[in-house]
A = this chain, B = another copy of it.
């Protein structure tokens, strides 16, 4: 998606350890006008898939997911990163390794919001090693729901998570695919 790629080139910053900082428009400050354009693109890609719910993970996926859900006219569920006393009863849970923060954490979704008849579109801001996407996908499988696919803002293809998950049959649509950030220079596929 040209608009997103241009924005990454203009405002993205490459940091040590293959970190791409896009926090001026994607995941700290959020440009909701850009999100609307991205939502329209996700709709173009998945409009015939009868999506009933959008699933994302806190925190930075939530904004994009909500604006995308407006276009699909469906609710959003966000997986929570730890069990709080506000979530009573049964939950689906999965473990995720964090690329940004390091370490393992649990993600959970209340069972009442993921049903076998649901057709789930996952929306998230980044795909790198695929850990979050694998965790979310396993929640969908545990619920017996159908995973329609995943809509990702930025995929770092050199980190191979997308390659692995696609080889397992997951449909992944990434709006910007970065093949290299070597020397601080961003190159798209």
Contact = CB atoms under 8 A, between A and B. Distances in A.
A48 interface: no
A70 interface: yes
B69 A28 contact: no
B19 A85 contact: yes
A84 interface: yes
Interface in A64-111: 65-67, 69-70, 73, 75-78, 80, 84-88, 100-101, 109-110
A7 interface: no
A30 to B, nearest CB: 4
A28 B78 contact: yes
A6 interface: no
Number of copies of this chain in the oligomer? 2
A59 B30 contact: no
A112 interface: yes
Interface of A: 15, 17, 19, 21, 23-25, 27-33, 35-36, 58-59, 62-63, 65-67, 69-70, 73, 75-78, 80, 84-88, 100-101, 109-110, 112-113
29 contacts: A15-B88, A19-B85, A19-B86, A23-B110, A28-B77, A28-B78, A28-B87, A28-B110, A29-B75, A29-B77, A29-B113, A30-B76, A30-B78, A32-B69, A32-B70, A32-B76, A33-B70, A33-B73, A35-B66, A58-B58, A58-B59, A59-B78, A62-B66, A63-B65, A63-B66, A66-B66, A84-B100, A84-B101, A86-B100
